Amino acid sequence: MITLDTIDKKLIGYLQQDAKKTTKELSFLLGLSNTAVYERIKKLERQQVITNYVALIDKEKVEKNFMVLCHVKLNQHLKKNILQFEKEILKLEEVLECYHVSGDYDYIIKVFVKNMDAYRKFLVEKLTVISGIGSTQSTFVINEVKNTTHIVL
């Protein structure tokens, strides 16, 4: 079992906000030595608490700011259909997230495309061609109020 003390949690918090912070800066913020901070980061990486470091981009600036939450229902809950659907979804680059959920629908997927036309194309050419899909229902995002990757511990 992994146990994180207060300093680890603070450290993870800082790195979730800015991965480019140097150990020097972090050691100042945490009131620790350079080496201590370095060892803690390496440990968190080794334990796979920190999985990776990524650049985040502005979706508007790259014209991928048309976002849709699409509810998907399979027509039969056969293991074969489930595995097939999940395998195909992983391949679709327009789908950033996919969750198997409780309730009326089986999956909720988050899709990013350029505009409505691109979405229509995605729907007819990529999503609904997956075998086993019963129905879909698209919920369009009018405004992104909040979107962060920062999990507060």
Partner DNA sequence: ACTGAAAAGCGCATTGC
Partner DNA sequence: GCAATGCGCTTTTCAGT
Which residues would be at the binding site for DNA (CB under 7 A)? 7, 22-24, 32-36, 38-40, 42-43
CB nearer DNA, residue 7 or residue 118: 7
What's the closest the beta carbon of residue 23 comes to DNA, in angstroms?
Answer: 4
149 interacts with, out of DNA, a copy of itself, none, CB within 5 to 8 A per kind: a copy of itself
Cα distances (Å, whole numbers) of residue 103 to 65, 106, 108, 136: 28, 7, 11, 14
Contact 8, 39 (CB under 8 A): no
CB nearer DNA, residue 47 or residue 128: 47
Q: Are strands 66-74 and 107-113 parallel, antiparallel or unpaired?
A: antiparallel
* Contacts (Cβ under 8 Å, ≥6 apart) of 79: none
Contact 85, 74 (CB under 8 A): yes
| Contact residues for a copy of itself, defined by CB under 8 A | 2, 4, 12, 15-20, 47-59, 61-62, 64, 67, 69, 86, 89-90, 93, 95-103, 107-109, 112, 139-153
33 interacts with, out of a copy of itself, DNA, none, CB within 5 to 8 A per kind: DNA
